[in-house]
Structure 1
Amino acid sequence: MKPLFKVQDYNLAEWIPFLRLVSVPFVLVLIGLEIRLLVAFIYFVSFCTDALDGFVARTFRMETDRRGRLDSIADEFLLAAGVIGLYIFEPVFFAENSSWIFTVIGLYIFQLLFALIRYGTYSSFHTISARAATVVQAVFFMSMFFFGPQPWLFTAMIGLSLLDSLEEVALIARLPQWQAHVNGIFWLRKAQRAGNQEEIHH
């Protein structure tokens, strides 16, 4: 597994999520200064570049495990900054929905610790549910900074975030060793059944 922050070895597809990660302190400063429109613009750019690094990696054969880990970390830090922004800019909405917000945060921390104990690193499986949750999270926070929180988007974000964390926990429990790009628990079980059938035939 390549060192995560050995920046001199990065390819273009790895630099893009790294720069998204570096933007987080600036986002937090802007949230503290309550410059809401600029925060919204940075989230819009981050959302666009989140799709760009995957496209660059696939198109130019630059896909690496390190890019996947950087992408996941950048997403999570931007999500954390978004939660802080929600608390600062929309305190009433935050208070009304705090039980759901802290449930998602608590479950995420549990699966993070579970992965660190089991693998010594983030899970970063890039499951289909994780990718869907990331898109909805980005859309919710971008929309929230521009227009205020949309309840239906918030509900979708909470549901997908819970599904993603529960699936990550199940995958960590089933996989004795870390591996990249696991589509989800259904695909893992399907692959394991196919492997068992192949062993029986041999």
Structure 2
Amino acid sequence: MRKIPYYIVNGITLWRILMAPVIIFLAIRGDGELFKWFLAISFLTDAIDGILARRYHISSKMGAKLDSIGDDLTVFAAFVGMLIFHPGFVRQELTLLLLLGGLYLLQLVLALYRYGKMTAFHTVLAKGAAILQAAFLLTFFFWPAVSGLLFYAAVVLTALDLAEEIVLVLLLREWKADVRGLYWILKDRSGHR
């Protein structure tokens, strides 16, 4: 593994983790402009660290864990911003938001019980859900009028992703990073019989 690209990729991911409390602070302070720009930068750096990791073939358990933590903290920071800047939207969509929160907590509790740590599957569905979440959240804070359809698309794909991850936690006895998805796990299992 080449050290410099490894440190750059993990440094970008670590930046996202460290920026999440700053983004939350900006929301609590009521600074909507800085909040949305720092949130946009966090989503952009998520894309950049993924591109660089693939470009330089950098993969590590630590990097996968950091990336998952950075993803979760960035989405949490965005949710805090939704609560503060758009409470009416949160009230209107509370059922769907609670559904996603419940699925996430179930997946997290199962993973902590089974593996003693968070998952870092990074499945195909998870990547698609992350793209839709970022697209929705960025349009929501920059151009709220055009974000409606993106919200429902992000909810559906995120719910499917979380359901798949719950099944993966139940199927996989040992912690694994960067699992393509349930289809490939089942295909591999049927091929090894």
For this structure pair, what is the TM-score category when the shorter chain's length is used for normalisation? over 0.9
Q: State how far apart, in whole Å, the 2-side matches of 1:28 and 1:44 are.
A: 13
Q: Which residue of 2 aligns with 1:187?
A: 184
List per-residue Cα deviations over 1:38-57 (Å, max 9, x = no partner).
Answer: 11111221122111112222
1:138 aligns with 2:137: no
CA distance in 2, matches of 1:75, 1:20: 8
Give 1:14 shift: 1.0
RMSD of aligned alpha carbons: 1.3
Name the CA distance, whole Å, in 1 between partners of 2:14 and 2:71.
10
User: Aligned partners of 1:92, 1:57: CA distance in 2, in Å?
Assistant: 39
Residue 153 (structure 2) aligned to one of 142, 153, 156: 156
TM-score calculated relative to the size of structure 2: 0.92
Return the alpha-carbon distance in structure 1 between the equivalents of residues 156 and 143 of structure 2: 22
Q: Cα offset for 1:61?
A: 3.3
**TM-score normalized by the length of structure 1:** 0.88
Distance 2:9 2:20 in 1: 19
Matched residues in 2 for 1:177 and 1:62: separation? 22
- Number of the residue aligned with 2:163: 166
> Partner residue of 2:26?
30
Q: Which residue of 1 aligns with 2:15?
A: 19
Deviation at 1:126, TM superposition (A): 0.5
Number of matched pairs = 187
Mapping for residues 93-132 of structure 1, pairs under 5 Å: 93-132=89-128
Residues 77-130 of structure 1: CA deviation (Å, up to 9, x unaligned): 111111111111111111011011011001101100100110111111000011
Preserved CA contact (<8 Å) 1:126 1:183: yes
Please state how far the C-alpha of 1:58 moved relative to its aligned partner: 2.3
User: Structure 2 regions of 5+ residues with no counterpart?
Assistant: 1-5
Percent sequence identity over aligned pairs: 33
